[in-house]
Amino acid sequence: MKTRRLQVHNGFTLIELLVVIIILAILAAVVIPKVVGRTDDAKIAAAITDVQSFSSTLEMYKADTGQYPSSDQGLNALINNPGTGSWHGPYLKNMAVLKMDPWGHPYIYKYPGDHGDDPDISSAGPDGQVGTADDIESWNPSKAR
C-alpha cells in the first residue's frame, strides 16, 4: 500500500497579497495628504518664528546702539558691526537664518518702516511674491495663519 504525502506550500496566495496591497493603498490615501499638507504649515511657522526673532533681536540692538539699523545696513547689522561704537553683537548666532526664508527667498527689512515706529520685517511667503495674502509680516502676524 502506497502512502500519500500531503504537500505543504509555504507562502501567500494571490488573494492574500491583493488584500494586503489594498489595505496599504487605503492607508496611503488617508495618511499622505495629511503629511504633505503639514510641510507648508511647518514652513509658515518657521518664517513667523524668524520674523518674531528678528523683531526681538532688533530691540536688543536698539537698546545698545540707540537706533535700529537702516534699510541699507539691514539685518546683517545683527551679525556684523555696521560701524556703530556701542554695538555689542553679534546679536544672532546663526547667520544662515538671515539669508533666506523657508522658501528660499530673502527676508525683507525696511527702516524706517511703513507700519509704525518699528522696522518692517517680512517674508514673501510660499508664492515668493511681495504684497500677496500669504506674506508673513512683523506688523501683521495673524495674516499668514
pLDDT confidence of residue 145: 46
Residue 110 β-bridge partners: 120
Q: Whole-model pTM above 0.85?
A: no
Could you report the per-residue pLDDT of 29-80, keeping only the tens digit for each? 877 777 776 777 888 888 888 888 888 889 999 999 999 999 999 998 988 8
Could you report the per-residue pLDDT of 75-103, keeping only the tens digit for each? 989 888 888 888 888 888 776 667 789 99
Structural domains in the chain plus CATH codes: 40-137 (3.30.700.10)
